Each structure stands twice: as C-alpha cells, then as structure tokens.
Amino acid sequence: MAMHRHLLVITVLQYFPLYLMSGISAAPKPSFPAVWVFGDSLVDSGNNNYVLLALAKANLPPNGIDFPTHHATGRFCNGKHSIDILCEYMGLPYPPPAKAPSSRGFAILKGLNYASGAGGILNGTGANYIDRISFNEQIVLFQQTIRELNHLLGEAAAKDLLRNSLFASIFGSNDYINNYILESNNASRIQYTPSQYVDLLISTYKTQLTTVYNLGARKFVVSAVGPLGCIPSRLAIGSVDGSCVASVNELVLGFNNALKPLLLELTQTLPGSMFLYGNAYDAVYDLIQDPSPAGFNVVNRGCCGAGKYNGALPCLPVVERICTNRNEYIFWDAYHPTQAFNEILGRRTFLGPPSDISPMNIQQLSMLQL
C-alpha cells in the first residue's frame, strides 16, 4: 500500500498517559498488543548476560543505579533505555531479554527484546568483543519465538498478534564504532570506501528488515544512528577541545541519508507495511548544541568511566566516582546516553513531530489500520 494511502487514515489521537511503572496512571488500553526489539547495546535489556563469551556486558554496578530495581540488569545505562520509556508511553511492560531462561511460554506474549551489546547489521561487526548476537542471529531467535507463539496461540492468532505489534530496530552504531572506524582493525576501511560501506550496510539491512516483514511484522520504527563523533569514546580518541569529531559524524550522516529513503521504499513496496524513521541523530546533536533548555549541563563527558572525557574506560565497579547529578549529563558512559536523555528520546519517538520521527509518530502508528 502506498504511503499516501496510509496517511489518509491517520486520526487525531488523545494523549496516552504513561505506563504504571513510571509512577503515573497506566494507559487504559495498550497502544500495541506487543513490542519486539532488535538492536545493539543502546537497547540491550540483558541478553548479553546469557551469552557466555560476550565481553560487552553491563551486569555490574553502577549500571542500573537509577533503574526501578536499583541494580544492574544488563542495560548499558544508569536506568531505563529508550525502549523502556517508549513502552511506558505505549502502556506495555518492558519486553524481557529473549535469551533469559524465563522468557518462555506466556511470558513472551507482550513481546521480547533480542538486542545485544556489540551486535550489528553485519555479522562480523563487534568481533572485538568476541561473542554477541548480530541482527541475522536475532532474526533466528525471532523465528524460534514465532514457532512458540504458534504453539501457544495457534497460527492465525499468532499472525494477528505480529501484524498489530510494534517492531523496533536500532542498529548501525557498532557497524561504525566496532567495525569501520575501529582502530585495531581497518580491514573494512581498506576494502570499502565510505559510500561503498553505506551501500553494503543498506543492502544488508534491506534484506534483514524484509525478512522480518515476511515473518509477519508490519509496523516498524527504525532508528537512525546518532552522532558518533560526539560520544565520549570518540572524543577521547580524536578531540582536542571536547567538540564533536566532524569526520566521524560525516560517516554516520552518509548512512542516515541512505536509511531514510530505504524505509520509504520498503513502505511503498511491501504491502500493508509502515516503516518509521526515528531521527536519533538530531535528537542527540541538537541537545549537545543547546543543552540548557532540557536541563543538561554536561554534553561531552560520561558520568561514569575513566580517562579523557571519561571515554577511555567503560563503567565498571572499579571506577572510583560517578557523577551525582546524573540528570544533567547526556552520556552515562563512553558510548551510551543517560536515562535522562532516554526519557526525552522515548517521548519524542512516541509523540514527536516529523522532525523527530517520520512520516508519523508511534502514537499515530498505533491507530493506523494496515
């Protein structure tokens, strides 16, 4: 179905209150029956805790210090990541990690999270962290979930559940940080020019997203890559004065500029689908350039870590001090944002204008009949 036909059926929506876990009254009816999450450490809820040889893990404090349980869950954050916040707006529980032993049976009916720290679009991405779950491997896990859903609900009901669910995909950061611009391995840079690498990522991503569609997904939100030249780990490597590394951001923009038309193409060519583009790049970059209206004071330093800009070492228990004013920091550690930033991103994804998420926001997508 062409995109213009989708847009004709969007209706004016009433504001959905936050989910009960946020401390605000729960929505009377969930926006979607379930949410299924594919991605990397930005939205990993603990899958890597169950990957034996994965070096990218956040299962130790002070990670999780501001999470409702006040302990490390496997989220690379002081608290909730952006999908958690989005689920609160949608009236859904946080989808549990798919690799957790308890994520079986009726526990999966509201959705699962397949995201994995160091995972990427390309199978080879993140090899410097030894083991991780790439997007292709996450799709295999999702196929196993579908078989279980068919057993629990019957094929017709399972198909209906997936058709009305939200599918989130957050990939691409590691394909640059832990692949193309990785200092210890320049094989990809030797083999591909920046534009050739974008073509490789986009063609691979197209196949993967189409596979998820063919497995029953219809409503997607796909995130752009944020300004990687502004994260503390890159500042520690290539910034003299704490300002963003422009050359890295230019690489990322090359990917994002190709991703948006890809999602338009998929919407137009895959019947009954809608692919939203989440503009995470501008969400981060704009706040770095003008942080004070949102209450941020520190834009180029991790709250937890060590070395230059707290970007040289990850957030580990051996870190002597972490910042106490965490709500004033955009970055939690060398790579990941704070809960305070995730709250902004989640809200803008659910309710934001086309500059934040296009061609519509998640609230509007929830009411769209495909």
Return the sign of the alpha-carbon dihedral for residues 110, 114, 115, 116: positive
Distances (CA, A) of 159 to 88, 145, 154, 213: 25, 12, 9, 12
What residue has token string 């939200």? 166
Per the CB < 8 A criterion, the answer to whether 38 and 53 are in contact is no
How many whole angstroms from its chain centre is CA 299? 20
Catalytic member of 31, 41, 165, 233 = 41
Dig out the tokens for 314 from the structure.
């990850």
- Whether 345 and 82 have beta carbons less than 8 Å apart is answered as yes
Count, residues in the chain: 370
Catalytic residue among 84, 175, 333, 356: 333
∠ at Cα 154 (153, 160), nearest 5°? 75
The answer to whether the beta carbons of residues 340 and 329 sit under 8 Å apart is yes
Catalytic one of 44, 233, 336, 356: 336
The answer to whether 263 and 6 are in contact (CB under 8 A) is no
Q: Clarify whether 66 is annotated catalytic.
A: no
Q: Is 333 a catalytic residue?
A: yes
Tell me which residue has tokens 């859903």.
149
- Let me know if 41 is a catalytic residue: yes
Contact 133, 47 (CB under 8 A): yes
Strands 357-358 and 274-278: antiparallel
Of 113, 118, 93, 215, nearest to 168 by C-alpha is 113
> Any idea which residues carry the catalytic annotation?
41, 333, 336
